[in-house]
Structures are given as structure tokens and as C-alpha cells.
Amino acid sequence: MTPPSPTATDQLATDQLAVMFSRVRLTARVFHTGLLCQQVDFPAGGTGHLHLFRSGHLEVHGPGPTHRRLDQPTALFLPRAEDHRFVVGPEGADLVCAEIDLGGAGNPLESALPALIALPLDPADTLTGSLALLFGEAMGQGSGRQVVLDRLAEVVLIHLLRRLIDSGQSDAGLLAGMAHPALSRVLTALHANPAGSWTLERMADEAGMSRSAFAECFRSVVGVTPGDYLREWRLQLARTGIAAGQPLKRVAAEVGYASPAALSRALGDSPSGSLRVLRGSTPD
């Protein structure tokens, strides 16, 4: 008998990036397209950056003491707000630059990534199609251009993250966990159902491992204990929900806390204090 084709729901349940970005919002804002002809400093602000270098000559200084020269198409991804500088050659450098927000500080994906990721843009790569659309839109002035550029930058970034996971280039952290055949099932389940009654035994069953083997494997690969990871994921989702104006009671239930008071204690504040801080307001 031929097995039934997976439904869209089944596919979502096993798609790690889709599950994560259904919970936290990835956003991009393209702010430069075309030729860069002079030195540019990018001070650390509140967002990360994605730079797509197409042609020319470019020297990248930072983050920190790092320094590299580029003369081949390359994607530069800085997941966090980091100081960096571009120095261009006499012929300039053709770039698309975007601010990137991976869903707010505390996103485990953001904290799992290095300060700078540089990936050569291979013409045979699956990125080719989305990059061609992005560069083509950047050259035009059609209606809705900014919206299209922003969405295409998000598509390109997801392709980059997929490539990092599939390549297994990360030795530790969340990306390494996502690339691990057993741990990836657990991480996807935690991301999809943060309010679940998760125990070490249930997580180990999801991974198909004994409790002791699972606990050791998770900590070795991801870098934290399963319980610590789940707690931080729940709190990140809670901060996002509260900042968006959702009622504290609803947020607590959706991320697995028995009451608003329990969630506020986990956040380290009183219920009213949590709301003021996370919504950006000030005390009366």
C-alpha cells in the first residue's frame, strides 16, 4: 500500500525553521541597493544586518578585530547588533544591505549564531533564484518596491539559515542541534508546543534515547541542559507576546506557565512591572 502523502500540517511539524518562525517574527528592512563608493560605518544599533555583496572590491572590518577582503559574490550575515565598517575599492562595491530582526533579543537562534557569517554565493546554489529576484527588484522602481525587497531579503536569509543547518557546519549550539537527527525532533517539538507538559523522559522518548544519554547528548551538542533551553524558549515567547500587547494571562497559558504570577516570577518582576518593561512604558 502506498503511504499517504504528508499534509501541510505534517510538513510544518517537521520543518524546523517554519516552526520557529511561526512563533517569532523574522523581519528585514532593505536600506541600501546599488553601488557603494565610499567608506561606511555601521554602528551597533538594535538589529542585525544582512549584506549581499555582488561585485567590486570590499574590505570588511569587524565585528571586533576580524578583517576580510571580498572580490567574489558573498553573503554577510551579522545576526546581532555589531559595529562593522566597509571600505570599498576605486571601482566601488555593488551591495544590497538590510537590517535584520530575528524576533527580539533572546531568540535561541540569534544567540546560537556567530557574530559574522560569510557564505560565498555559488551560482549553482538554491539561493540563485531568490537572489536574482532580489537584485532584479533592487534595480527597478516598481510600485511596492520596498515591500518586495524586504520580503525577498527575508526569503534569502531563510535560504542561508537552511544552508547552514543542512551543511552541518556548526559544531555546537542550536544549529548543531537542528542538524542532529535525534535532537532535531526534540527541538522542533519544543518550538511547536512550548506549553506542553515536557519532562526529561518525554523529551528522551521524542529523541528515541535513554534519559541519561539524551541529557548528555543535548548538553554536549546544544550547550545547555534541555530544561534550561525550554525555559529560555518559553520566556522569549512570553516577552514577544507581552511586547505585542497580549494579555498576561493568555501569554502565560500559551507558554506553559500556570498563572500570570508564575510567569512574572520567571521573568524576575511583578506582573505590572513585567508589562511596563516589556511594553516599553514607564511607571505612573
272, pLDDT greater than 70: no
The label of the residue with cell 534595480 reads: 139
- Same CATH topology for 12-167 and 177-279: the answer is no
pLDDT greater than 50 at residue 282: no
Q: Which residues lie closer than 8 Å to 216 by C-beta, 6 or more apart?
A: none
Q: What is the DSSP string of the chain?
A: -PPPPPPHHHHHHH-HHHHHHHHS--EEEEEEEEEE-S-EEE---SSEEEEEEEEEEEEEE-STT-EEEE-S-EEEEE-S---EEEEEEEEEEEEEEEEEESSSTT-HHHHHS-S-EEEE--TTSTHHHHHHHHHHHHH---TTHHHHHHHHHHHHHHHHHHHHHHHT--SSSHHHHHHSTTHHHHHHHHHH-TTS---HHHHHHHHTS-HHHHHHHHHHHHSS-HHHHHHHHHHHHHHHHHHTT--HHHHHHHTT-SSHHHHHHHHTS-HHHHHHHHHT----
Whether 14 has a pLDDT exceeding 90, the answer reads: no
Based on the number of CB atoms within 10 Å of its own CB, is 43 exposed (0-12), middle (13-18) or buried (19 or more)? exposed
Mean pLDDT of the chain: 85
Q: What is the pLDDT of residue 1?
A: 36
Lowest mean pLDDT among 71-75, 119-123, 174-178, 204-208: 119-123
pLDDT at 269: 61
Question: Taking the mean position of all CA atoms in its chain, how far away is CA 192?
Answer: 15
**For the whole prediction, is pTM greater than 0.85?**
no
Residue with cell 526534540: 186
12-167 fold: Jelly Rolls (2.60.120)
Number of residues that make up the chain:
284
| Four-way CATH pick for 177-279: 1.10.10.60, 3.40.50.720, 3.40.1410.10, 3.20.20.70 | 1.10.10.60
- Indicate if the pLDDT at residue 273 is higher than 60: no
3-state SS string for 140-196: CCCCCHHHHHHHHHHHHHHHHHHHHHHHCCCCCCHHHHHHCCCHHHHHHHHHHCCCC
Q: State yes or no: pLDDT of 170 exceeds 90.
A: no
pLDDT score for 284: 30
Model pLDDT, residue 106: 62
pLDDT tops 70 at residue 66: yes
251-264 pLDDT per residue, tens: 999 999 999 999 99
Task: Name the residue ranges covered by the structural domains of the chain.
Answer: 12-167, 177-279
pLDDT band at 8 (very low <50, low <70, confident <90, very high): very low
Mean pLDDT throughout 196-211?
96
Distance CA 25, CA 281 (A): 22
The predicted model gives 33-54 an average pLDDT of: 91
Report the C-alpha gap between 210 and 103 in whole angstroms: 33
